[in-house]
Amino acid sequence: MSTFDFSPALWDLCHRAEAKARGQFALLEERASRNTAKILSAFSEHRVSDACFGGTTGYGYDDLGRDKLDEIYAQVFGAEKALVRTGFVNGTHTIAAAMFSCVSAGDVFLSVTGSVYDTLQTVVGLRGKVGGTFADYGIGYREVPLKEGKPDLPAIERAAADPQVKGVFIQRSRGYAQRQTLSCEEIGEICKVVRKVNPDAAIVVDNCYGEFVEETEPTQHGADLTAGSLIKNPGGGLAPTGGYIAGRADLVERAAFRLTVPGIGGECGATLGVNRSLYQGLFMAPHTVCQAVKTAVFAAALLEEMGFSVSPGSGEERHDIIQTVDFGKPEPLLAFCRGIQAGAPVDSFATPEPWDMPGYDCPVVMAAGAFIQGSSIELSCDAPMREPYTAFMQGGLTYEAGRLGVMAGAKCILEMEK
């Protein structure tokens, strides 16, 4: 039997879920149209032409396409400067370069949304004994816990007032935490609190999963830097690797020195023929993000109909592409992940199993059949194998395929329950 041979009962659930989600779909499509207009305007103003798509080799000096793309990202993100490079190996690498650009020996870096994301905990010295961490450079690290899943503004104000604090970190998305994703407006409120007591501190936002979900970005709400991965939202499913940093010019330059070497920074870096994919990916990003968020809304509506607890709910405002589902026990969680994998265009024959993934403190199961390895803008679902057995689903290059993948996951749960 085909993965996509769904029972009449499941199709009925699907149609009810889509009817429930129709109002949200219309809002998302209008937002994608506005974000597309913003990107088209930047392409036009910067006179993008076929000459931008050629690659460079060796040192990569005078790469027209690379340098112009930096300018376009800066305009789109409302920033002074941007650095868009395939030399960033993932989002963690990109964000770490942004973090290090704000602090020096003797300074303190303050996370105000609880602990930093799992893979950044090694960077700040919370986990593992490796070289090159904050501690090795004499940089302190502190954090302000969340209060009932939300930023604790009075506590943030007290902690940020210390003159040793030179860098402040905000994680927009929830990571593997049971909390709401922050809107750009909420990020702006945190920025105001920090600015009031410590105007010189640089504010860095981990923007992963959030780009183009709203019509503005954190740098337009007071953040000094925003950073993320190109194989998530801004790469549109076409960027083969890389990351971006946008914000204050001096901090972006320091991040470029961290990526390469002081004195060279972003002046070097051959693009090896990938410029076309980066440009086309950015052009596609608002539409692709819309497809991913529509997939998430549909998943929320369908799984609500099946009796599971989801966040956000199908009618709630979205600030990133992530959809969580609390399954309560491991069996339906694994069944859902295996259905997502079976519905993928790549590696559909594989069976996801929990494993001890580097950078995490418990086994993690990951379902991902992606054209770009590890791409989170393509439909995927992962989960730490611990209570309450919450699945974190994200992505979907097209709503049509995303819907089928979610239905395949639901099918596996229903078959398991027979």
Q: Are residues 246 and 234 in contact, defined by beta-carbon separation less than 8 angstroms?
A: no
Q: What is the mean pLDDT of residues 196-200?
A: 97
Q: What is the mean pLDDT of residues 381-409?
A: 95
Rounded Cα–Cα distance for residues 5 and 124 (Å): 48
Q: Which helix (H) or strand (E) holds 195?
A: helix 184-197
Ranges of each domain in the chain: 8-36+282-417, 54-273
Q: Which helix (H) or strand (E) holds 311?
A: strand 309-311
Considering only CA atoms, which of 218, 224, 245, 250 is closest in space to residue 319? Answer: 218
CA atoms within 13 A on the CB side of 393: 34
Rounded Cα–Cα distance for residues 359 and 374 (Å): 15
Q: What is the mean pLDDT of residues 28-42?
A: 98
Considering only CA atoms, which of 220, 228, 226, 237 is closest in space to residue 286? Answer: 237
Give tens-digit pLDDT for 350-374.
Answer: 999 998 877 677 899 999 999 999 9
- Does 234 score more than 80 pLDDT? yes
pLDDT score recorded for residue 359: 63
pLDDT score recorded for residue 119: 87
Q: Are residues 350 and 11 in contact, defined by beta-carbon separation less than 8 angstroms?
A: no
Type of residue numbered 139: I
8-36+282-417 belongs to which homologous superfamily? Answer: Methioning gamme-lyase, C-terminal domain (3.90.1150.60)
Considering only CA atoms, which of 112, 247, 250 is closest in space to residue 193? Answer: 112
C-alpha 402 chain-centroid distance:
18
Reported pTM: 0.96
Of 31-45, 47-61, 121-135, 331-345, the one with minimum mean pLDDT is 121-135
Which one of 3.40.640.10, 3.30.420.10, 3.50.50.60, 3.40.630.30 gives the CATH number of domain 54-273?
3.40.640.10
- Does 177 score more than 80 pLDDT? no
Phi, psi (deg, nearest 5) at residue 393: -105, 140
Give tens-digit pLDDT for 81-133.
Answer: 999 999 999 999 999 999 999 999 999 999 999 999 888 999 999 987 888 99
